[in-house]
Chain A
């Protein structure tokens, strides 16, 4: 009898646990769909070709966000262009070259972990003082990108390191046992094997760059024109959305805010797909 009762309990426990797992997954997906649906249903109607490609005007119906889209893409491209190579190469140094557990590895790891926890507006303040003023870059795409590059670097290094550490030691042994050089083995065998993890980390960084507002307007400003060079100021979509929500007086402004949010979501999606596409191409080429 006792045996039976215990089996019964085990069974109910299993079912409850299973229900909790399914329930959590369902709630997560439902919320995600809800948020996306909320934005799209309120914004999609106001997204038109004209809205996307027109210049921004504070008054009038013909206002658009083309300058913000361009600024956002510049910002993503430039900050990742700076941070990704440095981050990936630092991670390669840490996993493949530095002595494991040595002082320098521990120091760099401590620094990256601490830096990852600093609120982004602190980076903004630093960027505004150092890049904008001291280096004299002014409020510019370049100053903003450098600031965002610093912001995403710690996470980029850490996640790339994890991806490299997950590559089995047997690949390295196999490569070296054939008489391949260390550099060749890293670039042709270890890095491609770690590529899915690195791509994920780059995608997360893109999301971070697009998502930030405070450190961006503190360093890149808010000018609503298309930047002609990296030394011009520019307003990213997120900063634009932030500005719009500061002054929601008319229905038209609400509509613009939702339409901007819609474009943001679609842009993030496109950039993620593009990154994956590029990564598969790189993988095939090697």
Chain B
């Protein structure tokens, strides 16, 4: 089962042709890693999957992106799409409010007011993000008081609160130390059971450790895509070979 089917996708930022004829299938309930050197288009592709590129001025997109068979650039409610496709960003971005309010934000935005339901979702989301035990006694204190790694797990909890089907992660550990990174990776191993995960990462070791499928991008093109073990151990393309072996990038 494929969650996303991207076919012949081209994306332009003004005159800059950032994604060139990308076709890619992203399977359900697996972790797909997007790797490649800076500026290769991997983050841009990630952001087409929940239409975050809409926020950028002057973006033009051709080709199509199907989510559960439905073209998300067709006649679709972007807010609904983003509820089903959650996102975690490179730098933890907790909102300037309490831990509780951070996790409840998305549901409150949908008009949910029932305190008991909110409490339940907040607890469940924080548990799923392996943060509950650390914060259960200070749910009402500011989210900024948490460490970087905790803040990122809070952002994951916030994404989970909407019960999405997919979680997009844009270099989620690049701002974190190795111990916090390890915790997030452990967490992802849990999350893959319930969610489809697409992760952009600069760390090849991370891609190797956590992903089932790997896609290698190079100057806006998808060079190679397959099982992670194959892409890393028997790459078909010389450029992939060069990148995964650390010769460049």
Q: Does B93 lie within 8 Å of A179, measured CB to CB?
A: no
Q: Does A178 lie within 8 Å of B80, measured CB to CB?
A: no
Q: Does A170 lie within 8 Å of B109, measured CB to CB?
A: no
| Interface presence of A276 (CB below 8 A) | no
Output the least CB separation between B51 and chain A (Å).
Answer: 9
Interface residues of chain A: helix, strand, loop or mixed (majority): helix
Q: Does A178 lie within 8 Å of B52, measured CB to CB?
A: no
Output the least CB separation between B19 and chain A (Å).
Answer: 19
Q: Does A188 lie within 8 Å of B105, measured CB to CB?
A: yes
Complex-state Cα separation, A185 to B155, whole angstroms: 16
Q: Does B105 lie within 8 Å of A179, measured CB to CB?
A: no
Complex-state Cα separation, A99 to B58, whole angstroms: 11
Q: Report B's interface with A, CB cutoff 8 A.
A: 50, 52, 55, 57, 79-83, 86-87, 89, 91, 93, 95-97, 105-106, 108-110, 155, 158-159, 161-162
Q: What chain B residues lie within 8 Å of A178 (beta carbons)?
A: 82-83, 86, 105-106, 109, 158-159, 161-162
Residue of B55, B91, B106 touching A179 (CB-CB under 8 A) = B106
Number of interchain pairs (Cβ within 8 Å): 69
Output the least CB separation between A285 and chain B (Å).
Answer: 12
Residue of B79, B83, B93, B162 touching A174 (CB-CB under 8 A) = B93
Output the least CB separation between B227 and chain A (Å).
Answer: 29
Output the least CB separation between A39 and chain B (Å).
Answer: 39
| Interface presence of A109 (CB below 8 A) | no
Residue of A99, A184, A192 touching B109 (CB-CB under 8 A) = A184
Complex-state Cα separation, A192 to B97, whole angstroms: 10
Output the least CB separation between B134 and chain A (Å).
Answer: 21
B80 nearest in chain A by CB position: A179
Q: Does A179 lie within 8 Å of B57, measured CB to CB?
A: no
Q: What chain A residues lie within 8 Å of B57 (beta carbons)?
A: 99-100
Q: Does A174 lie within 8 Å of B109, measured CB to CB?
A: no
A193 nearest in chain B by CB position: B96
Q: Does A177 lie within 8 Å of B87, measured CB to CB?
A: yes
| Interface presence of A60 (CB below 8 A) | no
Q: What chain A residues lie within 8 Å of B55 (beta carbons)?
A: 172-173, 176
